[in-house]
């Protein structure tokens, strides 16, 4: 983590007063993970226990725990993500979390990867974090950066930033390497980033003077690039294609607030379904309680809604533990599957 601000100038966007998705901390322990597999699993207590890169039918975000930082710009000024910038925290996940939540720090990153494999997120990918700062002797071989600077585009508007727990020169643990490999694959796949050394870069390639040791000599460049080398290269995209801006930190399907404290969530487009019961309860999370303040609204029979996911780890009702997640396009929330056809 860099102790000085790295947001740079951005005349067209203003930092938000607060992050609308910021919630209480939910720490995700990536124990027993299966990097590169195809199963999507949340632990029984809401912590991630297995995950994989996004597939065509289901998007797994179980390894990522939302933290939230007020330090960001909303949107990317109509720019698209073209690169990942890797950083070293020069500290712990916990100290970095405190620093990123401090409005006065004027610094943040999208993600952080711990030595034990935890992945935390502070800024939505459709928004610009303040991790990369003002260019100082930028790497001239990076065409996208040079082109952006000619157009007066802040590098934060073109990149996803990943912080890594530890200090300059630290060797990555195996858990940390596998976690950052998974995250790189996820971002490359989701945002169609070229999986090469010109688009997977270090902070020192943007600010060669003050950030010369970021991410430092311990960063496993060769191993990471070897692992990414087999990934398909994305098709060429128009340079003005923006990252979709919505309430979800990862993709366009669902707000992370519906996932906090919910186990076993599979994010996938279930299409349009119909409420088959009068007075069907929609809740902020799967619950049968009448006193926990989870009730959001009541739906009438025949109401049609779009659905974005499900869990088979909710409280049983009529012998069924499946709950369905309503799309944010229809105001979100959870409803028991027995009330949906």
- What would the pLDDT profile of 203-227 be if each residue is shown by its tens digit? 999 998 889 889 999 999 999 999 9
To the nearest 10°, report the CA torsion of 174, 186, 202, 91.
-50
To the nearest whole number, what is the mean pLDDT of the chain? Answer: 79
Spatial separation of the C-alpha atoms in residues 79 and 83, rounded to whole Å: 12
| Neighbour order of strands in the sheet with 200-202 | 64-66, 119-121, 111-113, 159-164, 83-86, 200-202
* Upper half-sphere CA count for residue 246 (Cβ side, 13 Å): 15
Cα–Cα dist 9/39, whole Å: 42
User: Is 184:200 a contact under the CB 8 Å cutoff?
Assistant: yes
Structural domains in the chain, sorted by start: 41-228 (3.40.80.10), 256-339 (2.30.30)
Confidence of residue 4 (pLDDT cuts 50, 70, 90): low
Q: What is the pLDDT of residues 86-132, one digit of tens each?
A: 999 999 999 999 999 998 899 999 999 999 999 999 998 989 999 98
Nearest alpha carbon to residue 330 among 309, 304, 312, 293: 304
Name which residue leads in pLDDT, 242 or 306.
306
Q: Considering only CA atoms, which of 323, 325, 327 is closest in space to residue 306?
A: 327
Q: Which pLDDT score, from 0 to 100, does residue 45 have? A: 28
Q: For 234-293, how does the pLDDT look when each residue is reduced to its tens digit (9 = 90+)?
A: 776 544 444 444 334 334 445 667 877 787 777 677 889 999 999 999 999 999 999 999
Report the distance separating Cα 325 and Cα 305, nearest Å. 10
Q: Is the pLDDT confidence value at 166 over 60?
A: yes
The answer to whether 131 touches 8, Cβ cutoff 8 Å, is no
Q: Give the model confidence (pLDDT) of 38-51 as tens digits.
A: 222 222 223 322 33
């Amino acid at each position: 983590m860099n102790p000085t601000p790295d947001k740079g100038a951005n005349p067209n966007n203003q930092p938000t007063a607060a992050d609308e998705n910021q919630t209480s901390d939910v720490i995700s322990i990536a124990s027993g993970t299966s990097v590169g597999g195809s199963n999507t699993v949340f632990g029984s207590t809401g912590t991630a226990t297995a995950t994989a890169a996004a597939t065509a039918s289901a998007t797994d975000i179980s390894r990522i725990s939302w933290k939230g930082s007020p330090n960001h710009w909303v949107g990317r000024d109509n720019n698209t993500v073209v690169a990942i910038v890797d950083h070293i925290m020069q500290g712990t996940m916990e100290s970095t979390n405190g620093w990123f939540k401090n409005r006065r720090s004027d610094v943040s990153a999208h993600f952080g990867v711990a030595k034990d494999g935890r992945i935390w997120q502070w800024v939505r990918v459709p928004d610009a974090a303040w991790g990369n700062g003002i260019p100082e002797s930028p790497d001239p071989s990076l065409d996208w950066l040079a082109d952006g600077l000619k157009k007066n585009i802040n590098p934060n508007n073109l990149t996803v930033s990943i912080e890594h727990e530890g200090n300059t020169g630290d060797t990555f643990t195996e858990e940390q390497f596998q976690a950052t490999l998974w995250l790189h694959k996820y971002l490359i796949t989701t945002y169609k980033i070229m999986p090469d050394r010109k688009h997977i870069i270090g902070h020192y390639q943007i600010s060669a003077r003050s950030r010369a040791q970021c991410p430092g000599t311990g960063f496993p460049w060769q191993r990471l690039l070897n692992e990414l080398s087999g990934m398909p290269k994305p098709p060429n995209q128009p340079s003005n294609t923006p990252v979709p801006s919505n309430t979800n930190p990862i993709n366009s399907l669902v707000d992370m607030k519906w996932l906090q404290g919910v186990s076993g969530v599979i994010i996938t487009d279930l299409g349009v379904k119909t409420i088959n019961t009068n007075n069907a309860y929609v809740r902020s999370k799967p619950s049968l309680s009448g006193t926990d303040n989870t009730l959001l609204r009541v739906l009438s029979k025949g109401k049609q809604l779009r659905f974005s996911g499900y869990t088979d780890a909710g409280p049983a009702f009529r012998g069924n533990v499946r709950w369905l997640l309503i799309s944010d396009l229809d105001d979100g929330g959870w409803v028991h599957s027995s009330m949906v056809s």
